[in-house]
Amino acid sequence: MAEAHAAVAFSFSVTPDGELDVNFNRDVLRAVWESGIRSWRRRFERFKNRVHNGAYPASPMSWLFGVTFILALTLAQYDVSFGLVRKIEHNLPMVMDISAPYDLYLSCIISATILWMAMIYLMKWFIMKLLQYHGWMYDPRGKMTIKTKIWLGMMKFVGHRKAQLYSWQGSLPKLPVPSLEGTMTRYLKSVRPLLNDSEYERMSLLVEAFKSGIGKKLQFYLYLKHWWSPNYVADWWEEYVYLRGRSPIMVNSNFYGLDAILVQPSSVQVARAANVSHAFLTFMNLIDREQLQPIYVNKTVPLCSAQYERMFQTTRIPGIETDMLVHVQESNHFTVYHQGRYFKVYFKHKGRLLKPCEIEVMLQQIVDNKSEPSTGEEHLAALTAGDRTPWAKARKQFFSKGVNRTSLDAIEKGAFVLALDEDEQTYDPEDHTKLDNYCRAMLHGKGYDRWFDKSFTLVVCKNGRIGFNGEHSWADAPILGHLWEYCMGADVVDGGYDDSGHTLGKVVTKPPHPIRLQWEMNEECVEVIETSLAQATKLLNDVDLHLLVHDEFGKGFMKKSRTSPDAFIQLALQLAYFRDAGKFCLTYEASMTRFFREGRTETVRSCTNESSAFAKAMEDTTKTNKERIALMKEAANSHQDGYRDAMSGKGIDRHLFCLYVVSKYLGIETPFLKEVLSEPWRLSTSQTPHQQTDKLDLVKHPNYISAGGGFGPVADDGYGVSYIIAGEDCIFFHISCKNSCSTTNSLRFGKVIKKSLADIKALFEEN
């Protein structure tokens, strides 16, 4: 009730004489005034950014120059508008009603604006055509064709003049629809090492029947969607791969990230949480103001920035049949979970972002608070870890009104969720289980201490170690990886700690108190929560997760072998799986399609004829090392071509996926697509990118690179492998599988990966 009384801006009473006595609360009125100013300032900033991005790569000032130029020449009796000024002056009613010479002035302004907009359109069209060229990716390493040199010169001429986060969005090309013939050819080639002769012949017949039959009709509808939408894959991918899934998103969909495990800036939990939270909020402001620089490949080609928009203030809301993503435009708080209780923490006070030392004070108040969780509160987040439909029903039945709705809004509309764990996590080179447990804590925790629906949950352990759990539908891992890398740098460069491990700076103004969220849950609601927790517990107990720290060699040796580091690792994974399982499997490697508008990911099918030949040669004692190296080079080149095809819009799997969606809309069953879409990915892999920001110089601070992150197994009898090439001499492998599968074991597979890497290295050392 104290907050309610403080929120009253004025009160009044009637005196015995009948006079009205009005009392104003100046502090509240000032807060209302400042809130309005901030709102209008934000609107103006967004309007200014829209104008800037709409005009980019021209500038709004170029419009003023154009108006002045045309007006001056028109007054000097030179018509550079090709008669447009006179036509507007004598034919446009609103101009004809104005007396001279103002009709001429207005005609010049209108014609200059039309010509200026036409010029911008032509510039954007020209840039789009330039960005459709991907031949530079296929040029041999260290060499550049004449065509690429000309293209590069034109791109540099266009330049990156004061590009904001979304400046390039209007110039990015659409993701092309691959030809049906091309996709079918690439598909057959990708499955050849997995099928014997009779199986391959059968699949070839299915492909031919599909290609010459219903495939043409489905392809036609895809062309229509490509023409109509900014990206023919993106909305269907988000809806059908993520939001329509009814199984738990914990482990099955969400992913995680880890701290820089080789250093520990502070062991004080609230201090580390304050510095990292402040870095997140700074990053959020950069996104909101569009001051974050776009990502460029080779400092030339911009990547799509659309996914950044929903990084903060976004929550996945459960539905009976499909979920939805809800993003609020503005938030001034985040939510903290500690010892089974939820708190609302304001990060702005008197119109400014609180300093890390002020946030630390608020978090310390939460830690010092000894109140007990209310009924059902401790395990509440288990609802977000279980099946989606029961959670949707419970949300509607128990959380649609009253204090439960108010408290749930505080979580869902907050910038993010911060979980202050009671457990400590650490890295011990002599005990791999500690690091494995660290990964498990970030992937699933206890099943009830992460709000899995939130765009991400920041986790700070008792001893100051940090990590995050990210929801996948709103964006892909590289987007959160960018935030995380910025956070690592800000923690060192902008943050810092004193000798006792606390944040730097002094608290000048007392920050607002955290607000304890209130809940009223009856026995039926608690029973639903506990049912979801039981399901989540069963799911997380089935996870077998291991983090391999491979420090025998890294990117440095791979570059010396003149092999792409990613191809090097992918071939080692193919060899490892062949040794572990005695066969090859359909392999998924995620690549990005962010060269295109609203692009997300595409699949690189890493198991190829060439990689299979190399793996077999490594186990064939009759082969010489020279022959093995030749096969490896051929396999690496094949892998690189597949990766380039995927990034340039010539992938296989997103095309097949969209053809399948169209067939479902038309109510058509196709044996080919049904079989293709049901094939299990027994080896699912992904590389975590880094150096997306120059916030921290990793040459000077190599130990501050994050250990990357990982995800749960995709197939019941398969492995999930995520890796990050951490500098010149280290690679982190996050390996997951299921305990319930008798043929997989993450620790064993990690050892096989390590041996495979060592054997490949020995090939080059001996030659």
Q: How far apart are CA 332 and CA 344, in angstroms?
A: 10
pLDDT tens, 133-172? 999 999 887 788 999 999 999 988 887 678 899 999 999 9
Range with lowest mean pLDDT among 78-92, 153-167, 661-675, 703-717: 78-92
pLDDT for 160 equals 66
Residue 683: strand, helix, or coil: strand
Across the range 229-254, mean pLDDT stands at 95
DSSP state of 7: T
Confidence of residue 18 (pLDDT cuts 50, 70, 90): low
pLDDT tens, 40-67? 777 777 777 787 777 788 888 888 888 8
Question: Which of the pair, 374 or 110, is modelled with greater confidence?
Answer: 374
Q: Is the pLDDT of residue 749 over 50?
A: yes
DSSP state of 173: P
What is the Rg, in whole angstroms, of the alpha carbon atoms belonging to the chain?
A: 29
Other Cβ atoms closer than 10 A to 125 = 11
Residues identified as active-site: 472
pLDDT for 106 equals 83
Decide if 374 contacts 347 (C-beta within 8 A).
no
pLDDT tens, 194-228? 999 999 999 999 999 999 999 999 999 999 999 99
> 280-291 burial by CB neighbour count: b if 16+ within 10 A, else e?
bbebbeebbebe
User: Tokens 């074991």 appear where?
Assistant: 745
The closest alpha carbon to 134, from 116, 117, 152, 118, belongs to 152
Distances (CA, A) of 41 to 34, 52, 332, 630, 670: 10, 16, 15, 62, 55
pLDDT tens, 479-520? 999 999 999 888 877 778 999 999 998 998 889 999 999 999
Confidence of residue 88 (pLDDT cuts 50, 70, 90): confident
Confidence of residue 7 (pLDDT cuts 50, 70, 90): very low
Q: Is the pLDDT of residue 371 over 80?
A: yes
Range with lowest mean pLDDT among 319-328, 612-621, 700-709: 700-709
Q: Is the pLDDT of residue 173 over 90?
A: yes
pLDDT for 21 equals 55
DSSP 525-579: HHHHHHHHHHHHHHHHHTEEEEEEEE-S--HHHHHHTTS-HHHHHHHHHHHHHHH
Question: Which of the pair, 106 or 26, is modelled with greater confidence?
Answer: 106
The closest alpha carbon to 574, from 631, 650, 495, belongs to 631
Distances (CA, A) of 389 to 253, 318, 382, 538: 16, 7, 13, 18
Q: Which phi and psi angles does 341 have, rounded to 5°?
A: -120, 155
Decide if 707 contacts 687 (C-beta within 8 A).
no
pLDDT for 2 equals 37
Decide if 116 contacts 62 (C-beta within 8 A).
yes
Q: Can you give 71-111 as a three-state secondary structure string?
A: HHHHHCCCCCCCCHHHHHHHHCHHHHCCCCCHHHHHHHHHH
> 675-714 burial by CB neighbour count: b if 16+ within 10 A, else e?
ebeeeebbbbbbbbbbebbebbebeeebebbbbbbbbbbb
> In sequence order, what are the residues at sequence separation of 6 or more whose Cβ sits closer than 8 angstroms to the Cβ of residue 669?
663
Q: Is the pLDDT of residue 11 over 60?
A: no
Q: Which residues does residue 349 pair with via DSSP β-bridges, in sequence order? A: 352
pLDDT for 9 equals 47
The distance of Cα 131 from the centroid of its chain, to the nearest Å, equals 22
Give the orientation angle of helix 523-541 with respect to helix 388-398, to 10 degrees. 160
pTM: 0.91
Q: How far apart are CA 590 and CA 10, in angstroms?
A: 58
pLDDT for 47 equals 75
Q: Is the pLDDT of residue 31 over 80?
A: no
pLDDT for 8 equals 45
Judged on CB neighbours under 10 Å (0-12, 13-18, 19+), 742 is exposed
What is the residue type of 518? Answer: Q
Q: How far apart are CA 509 and CA 270, in angstroms?
A: 19
Q: Which residues does residue 549 pair with via DSSP β-bridges, in sequence order? A: 732
CA 239-245-248 angle, to 5 degrees, is 135
Decide if 641 contacts 633 (C-beta within 8 A).
no
Q: How far apart are CA 175 and CA 229, in angstroms?
A: 10
Q: How far apart are CA 708 and CA 710, in angstroms?
A: 7
Distances (CA, A) of 198 to 6, 201, 448, 637, 670: 78, 5, 50, 29, 21
CA 536-538-539 angle, to 5 degrees, is 65
pLDDT tens, 566-583? 999 999 999 999 999 999
Range with lowest mean pLDDT among 88-97, 302-311, 496-505: 88-97
Q: Is the pLDDT of residue 1 over 50?
A: no
pLDDT tens, 515-542? 999 999 999 999 999 999 999 999 999 9
pLDDT for 6 equals 39
pLDDT for 26 equals 62
Instruction: Please state, rounded to an integer, the average pLDDT across all residues of the chain.
Output: 90
Judged on CB neighbours under 10 Å (0-12, 13-18, 19+), 127 is buried
User: Tokens 């690429």 appear where?
Assistant: 148
